[in-house]
Amino acid sequence: MNKVKVGNFEIGGGEKLTLLAGPCVLEEMDRCLLIGRTIKEICERLDINYVFKASFDKANRSSFHSFRGPGMEKGLEMLQQIKEELQVPVVTDIHETYQAEPVAKVADILQIPAFLCRQTDLLHAAAQTGRVVNVKKGQFLAPKDMRNVVDKLHESGCEQIMLTERGASFGYNNLVVDMRSLPIMRSFGYPVVMDGTHSVQLPGGNGTTSAGNREYVEFLVRAAVGAGIDALFLEVHDNPEEALSDGANMVYLDKLEDLLKDAVAIHEIVRKKFKG
């Protein structure tokens, strides 16, 4: 297992659990800092490594009229401020090749969205930055096909790779998680992440926005940690009903600690098998 270095800690190979968490999209700064600071405090209590996540542009919203975010320039300023004030690494996604270099100056992890996971030029651009690259498995892709994604990154000179499960399309407006995908992707030699919130999304389920089944997040999280994942990805909000994107899937901030307590307890048992 190749470990990846993020900030002052490593992910993978039986290291302690890492959490990538925050709001779906960058909202007002005070709210982002509140969410990030609270998550950091929870992670410190539970001995979890923490990476703040939020998008500066949700380029794949269902509707043309949906809120997309502050944009790259303003968004990177916000992420830099969050990074400095909270003293945590940050992860954000890129959608275009030209975004890779400027985003890499701020973000510790560049994330490739699921819809774009096969875009060779985007993968190459992210790989060339030298940052950790986290690729979300497309909802349309078999887990074994992520081997091709890994190969593209290798050919582009990247060895700092993470692979994320976020559900597979199951008919229209629905996703399911095949837990076999986790050991399959882990067999490629890189840390595997479970996105516990997008996996309960109902894409386009509300017509112009996506719906979701938040009540199933805790079950998927426990199952995935038991399957041997290295990190969790969760979208979290103090009031999901007010969230500007993906509120139906998001974990309530005041429910997060109990969810993570279970995850840590399971991870402490499972990680011994992968240590070293």
Q: What is the pLDDT of residue 54?
A: 97
For the chain, what is the domain count? 1
CATH at 154: 3.20.20.70
**Ranges of residues in the chain whose predicted pLDDT is under 70:** 61-63, 65, 205-209, 276
Give the pair of three-digit tokens for residue 13.
């190979």
- The DSSP element (H or E) to which 132 belongs, if any, is strand 132-136
Q: Which amino acid is at 61?
A: R
Show the domain range for 127: 4-274
Left (φ > 0), alpha (ψ -120 to 50) or beta: where does 189 sit? left
Reported as a single tens digit per residue, the pLDDT across 154-186 is 999 999 999 999 999 999 999 999 999 999 999
What is the value of pTM for the model shown?
0.95
Q: What is the pLDDT of residue 61?
A: 62
Q: Measured between alpha carbons, how far is 131 from 160 in angstroms, rounded to an integer? A: 7
